[in-house]
Structure 1
Amino acid sequence: MKVLLTGGTGFIGSELLKYLTTHEVVLLTRTPSKAKEKLSHTDMGNVRYISSLDDYHHLNDFDAVINLAGEPIADKRWTKKQKKHICESRWTLTEKLVSLIHASTTPPSVFISGSAVGYYGDQQEHPFDETLHVSDHGFTHNVCAKWEQIACRARSEMTRVCLLRTGVVLAPQGGALSKMLPPYRLGLGGPIGHGRQFMPWIHMLDMVRGITYLLETPHAHGEFNLCAPHPVTNKLFSQTLAKTLKRPHLLRTPKWALSLAMGESSVLLFDSIRAKPKKLTELGFHFSYSRIEPALKNLLQHHD
């Protein structure tokens, strides 16, 4: 396949490239020279780098588009300016891609576009799957809902659309886990708030395998929860992480302290999202890591 990839230098995208070596990839990036240097270990000579879509008037030459670009949602405090940047970095590029798909006489057969489990908002302890209808006014829901609405406009008889409602992606380097490790290694780990909030996690291996599976499964379409079949509470995750690192699990971080430090973005830690990947498993996808303990053992096997 010839694949147009956005977000290819990001946390998930750079790992996904390792699974696209049999495909021809055109990678959209602001700085091709930096991207080429960063991805030199994953580029098997199958990647071409472009800095803009301005030279494209259609996407007739592409078999697939994978759209993962977007400002990281958890890296900075949600000021008014940052919220705008988070939204526009997702919505504007997705609109451009959709317009190019519409302008194509032989459009890509699949458009895979990012989203997140933040779409669901706080669902407390209730388990749910992709069929859950959500009416929510929170920022994370609004970002994802509009992002998905824009992406769905690409849908036609010739183009199927898959939406990636991604959970907390766990990897040895980068992402949420790398932020958690320093205090846990010092024996300062513990649950956040009451710790009963559910965390929809996924091992990076299953994340990129899941995207590849959707790319190569012609009848896959619609919303997909990209998270392991067994979400865990924050307390259980915290206990398992401390146990895997052979460190004590004694401290608790009060909700008020994180709310003070993070402001509105603290909902990313306190919203309880017990999402199940029903559609992905019904398609026949098998998770390499469906339980948190084996996942963390694998991810931390090279750490002290």
Structure 2
Amino acid sequence: MKIIIAAGTGFLGKNLETYFANKGHEVIILTRNPNRSNEYHWDGNTLGEWKNLFENADVLINLAGKSVDCRYTDKNKKEIYDSRVNSTKILQKAVDQCINKPKVWLNASSATIYIHSETHLNTEENGIIGDDFSMNICKSWEKEFFKQEIENVRKVTLRTSIVLGNNGGAFPKLKMITRLGLGGKQGRGNQNVSWIHIHDFCKVVEFIIDCKTMSGPINVTAPNPLSNELFMNKLRSEMKIPFGLNASIWQLEFASLFLKTETELLLKSRNVYPQKLVESGFTFSYPDVERVFMNLLSQNY
């Protein structure tokens, strides 16, 4: 296949590129700073020569979006919104101009679209979508993506949870604080953590590409969310760290000022279930967090 990944130089993009390249597929990366032969310049806002690459492509994957690991200032809020909506809009224009369009377009979204939920398990069918900055970003993102149907182009949004891997994302930071003895619960610890192993994330993307009946929003998460307290307890156990100091809400809010981030990333309860994937027959290689920790820590401890 010919696969184009927009904004493909981050944690998820690099792993997807490796995964598909190892299977013999051609992977093309759109990035602001190209430095390899398969990378092409784009800015996420304007059409350029890169649009010609879309002819006869099989798959388009859009991962563009400013990281939410920042303070939610007005400036950052605008950049978070613009980077997601504008990139989706400009890719739509590029696809419209193709004669032979990509067969499937996967656009990033987030499991954060669902409300803070400690008891209600959010599936694609019964998930409760609320009204705050993060949820509204996701709603606007998906609205822009789905507002125009394209004949013979299957559209899918990836409502992705926390992706666990050694070469990026949240897991290296979690390992670091656990080694420092700070790997206790965050806040009350009863907020749910929805997660997926990076290998399963790549497998899910491949599965969606191959499964021609899958479209619309899809929860990209393992089927077993668990509480933050239990999540951290299992990580300490696998790392053989006997204790972990808890962090109260006020301590996290104080620390977040210095770390230039928001406590929502740790304290929001993401209780999400991959109903569409399970019902379509997808098999997780790492359905339980213990297997994830065992695998990742054996690779790089």
- TM-score, L = length of structure 1: 0.90
Distance 1:226 1:51, change over 3 A: same
Matched, 1:285 2:258: no
Cα displacement (A) at 1:141: 0.6
Which residue is equivalent to 2:30?
A: 28
Distance 1:175 1:189, change over 3 A: same
| Cα deviations by residue, 1:212-261 (Å, 9 ceiling, x for unpaired) | 11122222111111110001100010000000110023421001121233
Q: How many residues are treated as equivalent by the alignment?
A: 291
- CA distance in structure 1 between the partners assigned to 2:215 and 2:284 by the alignment: 19
Matched, 1:48 2:34: no
Which residue is equivalent to 1:261?
A: 255
- Structure 2, unaligned runs of 5 or more: none
- CA distance in structure 2 between the partners assigned to 1:182 and 1:297 by the alignment: 16
Which residue is equivalent to 2:239?
A: 245
Matched, 1:152 2:149: no
Matched, 1:111 2:105: yes
Tell me if structure 2 keeps the 8 A contact 1:125–1:272: no
Tell me if structure 1 keeps the 8 A contact 2:41–2:50: no
- CA distance in structure 2 between the partners assigned to 1:32 and 1:49 by the alignment: 5
Kindly provide the amino acid, as one letter, of the partner of residue 213 in structure 1.
Answer: F
Which residue is equivalent to 2:92?
A: 98
Matched, 1:179 2:176: no
51-60 or 11-20: bigger deviation? 51-60
Matched, 1:63 2:58: yes
Cα displacement (A) at 1:67: 0.5
1:165 pairs with one of 152, 159, 169:
159
Query: Identity over aligned residues, as a percent?
Result: 34
- CA distance in structure 2 between the partners assigned to 1:48 and 1:120 by the alignment: 36
2:188 pairs with one of 194, 202, 212:
194
Root mean square deviation, CA, Å: 1.8
- CA distance in structure 2 between the partners assigned to 1:101 and 1:146 by the alignment: 20
- Structure 1, unaligned runs of 5 or more: 37-46
- CA distance in structure 2 between the partners assigned to 1:247 and 1:109 by the alignment: 48
Cα displacement (A) at 1:63: 2.0
Tell me if structure 2 keeps the 8 A contact 1:77–1:265: yes
198-207 or 267-276: bigger deviation? 267-276
Kindly provide the amino acid, as one letter, of the partner of residue 63 in structure 2.
Answer: L
52-61 or 192-201: bigger deviation? 52-61
Kindly provide the amino acid, as one letter, of the partner of residue 48 in structure 1.
Answer: N
Kindly provide the amino acid, as one letter, of the partner of residue 228 in structure 2.
Answer: N
Tell me if structure 2 keeps the 8 A contact 1:98–1:153: no
2:271 pairs with one of 265, 274, 280:
274
Tell me if structure 2 keeps the 8 A contact 1:102–1:154: no
- CA distance in structure 2 between the partners assigned to 1:265 and 1:189 by the alignment: 18
- CA distance in structure 2 between the partners assigned to 1:151 and 1:185 by the alignment: 41
Tell me if structure 2 keeps the 8 A contact 1:101–1:154: no
Tell me if structure 2 keeps the 8 A contact 1:66–1:111: yes
Cα displacement (A) at 1:13: 0.5
SS in 2 for 1:15: helix
Tell me if structure 2 keeps the 8 A contact 1:154–1:161: no
48-57 or 106-115: bigger deviation? 48-57
Distance 1:50 1:67, change over 3 A: same
Cα displacement (A) at 1:26: 2.1
SS in 2 for 1:104: coil
SS in 2 for 1:164: strand
2:204 pairs with one of 204, 210, 214:
210
196-205 or 65-74: bigger deviation? 65-74
Tell me if structure 2 keeps the 8 A contact 1:29–1:51: yes
Which residue is equivalent to 2:293?
A: 296
